[in-house]
Amino acid sequence: MAYQTLMQTPDLSDEDPNSSPVSTSSLQTTKTEIVIEKLGKAIQVVEGEYLLMSSSQGCVLISLHQAQLVKLRGLLNAQHGALKAQPLLVPLSLKLSESEWQVAQTHLESLHQLGIELKTRANHSIMVMAVPQPLRQQNLQQLLPDLLSYAAVAAEPLSHQVLADWLTQRIVVEKRDYTLAEAIGLIAELEQLWQGCLPLHDPHFITLVDFSTSITALHS
């Protein structure tokens, strides 16, 4: 689905843009075996965190928090090659515990796959030379020692995918006030990152909306 398709939202020109968002109390979602094959138009942001869209199987609700996780997984996906390391303007020196320093030594290749370039030094210290784009705005002085501490408790060296999953959960931003334009932009980014292969099978990401209760109320 192209970005232009996402932007083809219904005409809401007569609606007050500052009006309260739709509440999930007026919508019911349903767990179903129906496979959602294709997304259609974006309709409305619901309670600031969900996007109501049309689809080939009917209206669906997408969790924008899960969409952020999917986006970060895409940005940190190193399955098809190492992520591009972006050099820091000023290399960062970090003092580590002995266990963290040892872990840094044993995980140099996995970290390299994630675009994290380290140089180990004496006295249990490292120099952070480069990180991938998703980590550029993070507090590296806290994030990287925490990552190494996480790896230190594992029984064996962790793969770059396991480290990427930890980073994804750690740096995802909790946002509860998406605008329609922001939600559309996020879904468009996912389409580009995953080349159209969104997790439409994941019930935590997307679910069909059941209007049966509302329809019954209209006939009562």
pLDDT at 145 (0 to 100): 95
pLDDT in tens, 14-24: 444 444 455 55
pLDDT at 183 over 50: yes
pLDDT at 194 (0 to 100): 87
**Mean pLDDT, rounded, for 5-17:** 41
Helix axes 160-171, 140-152, angle to 10 degrees: 130
pLDDT at 11 (0 to 100): 45
CATH 3.30.1370.100 location in the chain: 80-171
CATH 3.30.1540.20 location in the chain: 41-75+174-219
pLDDT at 28 (0 to 100): 55
Grouping H, G, I as helix, E, B as strand and the rest as coil, residue 211 is coil
pLDDT in tens, 117-169: 999 888 899 999 999 999 999 999 999 999 999 999 987 889 999 999 999 99
Cα–Cα distance for residue pair 83/114, rounded to 1 Å: 5
- CATH superfamily assigned to domain 41-75+174-219: MutL, C-terminal domain, dimerisation subdomain (3.30.1540.20)
As a CATH number, domain 80-171 is 3.30.1370.100
Cα–Cα distance for residue pair 82/113, rounded to 1 Å: 4
